[in-house]
Amino acid sequence: MELKGKENQLLPSDIAKYFLAQAINDGELISPLKMQKLVYYAYVWYLVITKGKLFNEPIEAWPMGPVSPSLYGELKQYGSSPIPEEYLGGEKGLEQLLAKLNGQSELLRKVYEKYDTLTAFELVVLTHSEKPWVEARKGLKPEEQSSKPIADNDILSFYQEQDLK
């Protein structure tokens, strides 16, 4: 299947900041591991619904599940601790983010509501049970590092029969 050619200016970190703002608003905490999975599912559902990419960076099939490498680089300093509110960049950063999302907020809110009640490890187990990650990890040992991307076509074929509700 051919995807829409529109270049998206969003970054994985933009999506992460949106989810962090939602979590803070709900009085919740999000670890970097959980954030990676939330950002993955945002990418998945945007791809399924619009047939376009939410951001241009591929999602890689790491041993603990789908990972955005650039987001990993930004969040690794927090280890397994919750991501602090400072990551949002203050009020001005949040305002700029909301303007940049330009209409994506509704879809992101639905993704957040669908997956935020799951723990980081429940999300890891979920992604490990789904075909796109499994296909990208074929031939690798469970703990083996890999930068192999999860194919958009695998995402589309697996998730298009499912519902975001």
Half-sphere exposure of 92 (CA within 13 A, CB side): 0
Which structure tokens are listed for 56?
A: 């241009």
What is the domain range of residue 81?
12-159
Q: Is residue 123 part of a domain?
A: yes
Residue 2 within a domain: no
Q: What is the residue type of 50?
A: T
> Do the domain assignments include residue 125?
yes
What total of structural domains would you count in the chain?
1
Domain assignment present for 3? no
* pLDDT tens digits, one per residue of 17-53: 999 999 999 999 999 999 999 999 999 999 999 999 9
pLDDT digits (tens, 9 = 90+) for 104-142: 899 999 999 999 999 999 999 999 999 999 999 999 999
Here the tokens at position 111 are 């993704």
pTM for the structure as a whole: 0.94
In a domain, 63, yes or no: yes
Residue pair 11/81 in contact by the 8 Å Cβ criterion: no
CA-CA distances (angstroms) from residue 161 to 45, 51, 112, 128, 136? 11, 14, 20, 18, 20
Q: Please give the mean pLDDT across all residues of the chain.
A: 92
